[in-house]
Amino acid sequence: MAPNSRRKKPYKKPNNISMPSPSFTRFSRKKVSVFVSLVMFFGVIFLLGISSNIFSGVAHVPKLYSIQVINEFPHDPSAFTQGLLYAGNGTLYESTGLKGKVNLLILIVALHTGKVEEVEALQKMDDSYFGEGLTMFEKRLFQVTWLTKTGFIYDTDDLSKIGKFTHGMDDGWGLATNGKVLFGSDGTSALYQLDPKTLKVIGKQIVRYNGHEVHYLNELEFVNDEIWANVWQTDCIARISLKDGSVLGWILLPNLREGLIAAGHNGIDVLNGIAWDDNDNRLFVTGKLWPKLYEIKLHPITKHFDTGVIEQLCIPRRS
């Protein structure tokens, strides 16, 4: 053997190191397998989220509705409709307002003739007030006025004024009720809840659709646990969730206004006025200075729809 050569000693396992048991090895492999599965699952979710954002311009909108006209009724073409309410027995309460003209606070309208019934009194509004949204709670009519925080209460038996109140909304545009609280709008994206006893604001939600605030909420109606709202300057009605203020769907009604203009009614103003017949599940709509009031039925639109088009149609930009 050469002087500098050394014989390699055999490897000897240290006494303080133990090899893992077969059961421990199987457990470790299971942990790794579960971890990999979780990573893959959340990775797929993440990628789907990115894809939905990329392709959000073209999305399926299951709660988008067209309308079918069931009946047409005459409507006073001089009525600048601000609030509409079905009172049963073929009658409607309607609040109107228009600067520079005599403002009729409440109209009781015979549905099939569209005329104010002669047996009912009309309340004339003081020149300092402009009639707006209207609703009925416990046989009393509540109505708000534009550019003020003032509202009035009327007895439904004879339309006599029995109260005046101040609310906490920024303005008075729309009113509705579910029989428990009053809901109000002020022309912004806010949907208010008011205590019907004190008329003070007890809740507020911001109405949003596809990440955008929906401004210019106008006339309101409570329909099947939702608030339905006209959006000023549009031909759209928003169906709003009471849980979080999100828009659950849109009702598209451009054919009504376009049909009136085509028939020569060029002096009409915007769509405004929603009335719901809870007993017979009938929906009525009209507009400011419209000569007709319509009973309509909704039909879901199931085709793919560009959400940008819906935003353009139903969410006006703030001036």
Are 315 and 209 within 8 A, CB to CB?
yes
Residue 306 structure tokens: 């560009």
Name the nearest CA neighbour of 169 among 217, 228, 222.
217
pLDDT at 7 over 80: no
Q: What is the pLDDT of residue 33?
A: 58
Average pLDDT value for residue range 141-156 = 89
From 56-65, 90-99, 188-197, the region with the lowest mean pLDDT = 56-65
Q: What is the pLDDT of residue 123?
A: 57
pLDDT in tens, 241-287: 999 999 999 999 999 999 999 999 999 999 999 999 999 999 999 99
Q: Length of the chain in residues, anyone? A: 319
Are 292 and 65 within 8 A, CB to CB?
no
Give the angle 247-224-71 at the CA atoms, nearest 5°: 95
pLDDT at 233 over 60: yes
Q: What is the pLDDT of residue 159?
A: 79
Note the maximum CA span of the chain: 133
- Where is pLDDT greater, at 100 or 188? 188
Q: What is the pLDDT of residue 114?
A: 74
pLDDT at 39 over 60: no
pLDDT at 193 over 50: yes
CATH architecture of 63-314: 6 Propeller (2.120)
β-strand partners of 93: 85, 108
How far apart, in Å, are the Cα atoms of 281 and each of 44, 96, 250, 298?
Answer: 44, 25, 18, 12
Where are the chain's structural domains?
63-314
